[in-house]
Amino acid sequence: MRREEQPIEVIEIGSLVDRAAQKKVEGNRLVAISCAAVEGKYEVTYSFEERDHRFTNLRVVVEPGGTVPSVTPVYWGAFVYENEIHDLFGLDVTGINVDYGGHFFDTKVKHPFALTPATRPPEKTEET
Amino acid sequence: MSKQIVIPFGPQHPVLPEPIHLDLVMEDERVVEALPSIGYVHRGLEKLVEKRDFRDFVYIAERICGICSFIHGMTYCHAVEGVMDLPVPPRANYLRTVWSELSRLHSHLLWLGLMADAMGFESLFMQSWRLREHVLDDMEETTGNRVIQGSCKVGGVRRDISDAKLREIADGLEELRPQLEDLRDVFVRDSSVRHRLGGLGTLTEQQAWELGAVGPVLRACGVANDIRQTGYAAYDELDFTPAVETAGDCWARTAVRAEELFTSIDLIQQAAEKIPEGPIEVKVTGNPKGEFYARSEQPRGEVIHYVKANGTKNLVRFRVRTPTFSNIAPLVVSMKGIELADVPVVVLSIDPCIGCAER
């Protein structure tokens, strides 16, 4: 059994769309966009594959209440992943080409994977 | 310009085994735009990982789908084994490969039958499903079940298949081969099938790649992309060439699936010859910590199981990206310009599994 490499590069949110565009120019397919709520933040990971099966990932870390720019201007089909992330995690994705407005996954519990107050880190307060 | 109207298609439709809704924007009989909606069968299976022991969760992972259940279970195990760096015994990898290919065989025969039914070719539908029974019998004899096999576990497999039984399966498939060749010839060469499916729902190679198409939908556009080439399970020790067509239409998707029946038979026969002796599982100690993306080739295309673990018995995150989910965007694009009467056939051509897609 061969084990494939799967590097994950953490990048700034501001460079996300440019890096996605670069991936497309290099001939990558968008494999998936995944989100995980970890240690009080959201990790959004964009997975790509080259024609020779090389699998790479770009990751942005988002604070609760933060937003992520849509990569649909680069990868048109990304709207399914971005609507899914919005509906399950409550994370705002700005500029999606096909925006379902929260009705892609109509779940009984709204945003079931969102960070709850119990799992968020305490908010920082200014010392007086 | 003609007046545009919106026609709702689904979620209940005779050709759809599972619920998906499409808002079809029509100009006369032509589809101008298709907007998909899902969410009818979302079960929240990924969330359950926070409450179940990672060893037991394989039972839930298998139940994501009733057709490619074994491959879901196996891919979940690959993901956990990837995090834990578990060396799965070679014999277990071969057994996983055999069950994966039996899954592909019965899934493709199921789909070919459904496509024949959608075309109104009832005898072809019955032939496809009759031949599928042979494969399901092999599944039942080796795992005890036809649909949910329950034979994969973290660290290996639960059941062995004797070498004699493997040879029997390989011989049985060889006997089945001429009947499958006849079936393939009808799907690929019959003029009425070609007339019904040719030129429908076409995608170019570039469109399919950039839209994230996977599996037979991608290979029907001339891209020889098959995740089995990455060498998971025992595929790195077996020879195969992905079935590829170039027309990019519904007929090409059908032809790819029909050809893949024989790839699967060849792989099972190779595995039966090469399978090594040895244990079928390793003991799993401790809890996983880290993250891993496991990718497998399901009958419908590439599936991804992502796990993230923090050293406890419950995983932090389990995420599944199924092939149908990835093929939604290509489907939407491929529907532009087709006629209303062709919509069911084009939808079916991606082999949609909505239960899988929604988890």
Examine the pLDDT at B109 and tell me if it is beyond 90. Answer: yes
CA–CA distance, B75 with B298 (Å, rounded to integer):
10
Please list every residue in chain B whose beta carbon sits closer than 8 Å to the beta carbon of residue A9.
none
How far is C-alpha A47 from the chain's CA centre?
10
Listed by start position, the domains of chain B span 43-336+346-358
- Tell whether omega for the bond before B242 is within 30 degrees of 0, i.e. cis: no
Listed by start position, the domains of chain A span 8-94
pLDDT in tens, B293-329: 999 999 999 999 999 998 888 888 899 999 998 998 8
Instruction: Determine, for residues B304 and A107 on separate chains, whether the beta-carbon distance falls below 8 Å.
Output: no
Instruction: Determine, for residues B88 and A31 on separate chains, whether the beta-carbon distance falls below 8 Å.
Output: no
Task: Label residue A100 by pLDDT band (50, 70, 90).
Answer: confident
Examine the pLDDT at B19 and tell me if it is beyond 90. Answer: no
What is the residue whose two structure tokens read 């040895």? B278
Task: Label residue A10 by pLDDT band (50, 70, 90).
Answer: very high
Average pLDDT over all residues of chain B: 90
User: Looking at per-residue confidence, does B54 or A47 come out higher?
Assistant: A47
Q: What is B43-336+346-358's CATH topology?
A: Cytochrome-c3 Hydrogenase; chain B (1.10.645)
Task: Label residue A121 by pLDDT band (50, 70, 90).
Answer: low
> What residues of chain B, 173 to 202, have a C-beta less than 8 Å from chain A?
none
Instruction: Determine, for residues A34 and B321 on separate chains, whether the beta-carbon distance falls below 8 Å.
Output: yes
Task: Label residue B17 by pLDDT band (50, 70, 90).
Answer: confident
User: Looking at per-residue confidence, does A18 or B50 come out higher?
Assistant: A18
pLDDT at A128: 43
pLDDT in tens, B58-97: 898 888 888 888 999 999 999 999 999 888 999 999 999 9
pLDDT in tens, B184-222: 999 999 999 898 888 898 999 999 999 989 999 999 999
pLDDT at B226: 93
Task: Label residue A120 by pLDDT band (50, 70, 90).
Answer: low
CB atoms within 10 A of CB B56: 11
Least CB–CB distance from B234: residue in A1, A37, A55: A1
Residue B345 CA: distances (Å) to CA of A66, B13, B358: 42, 12, 22
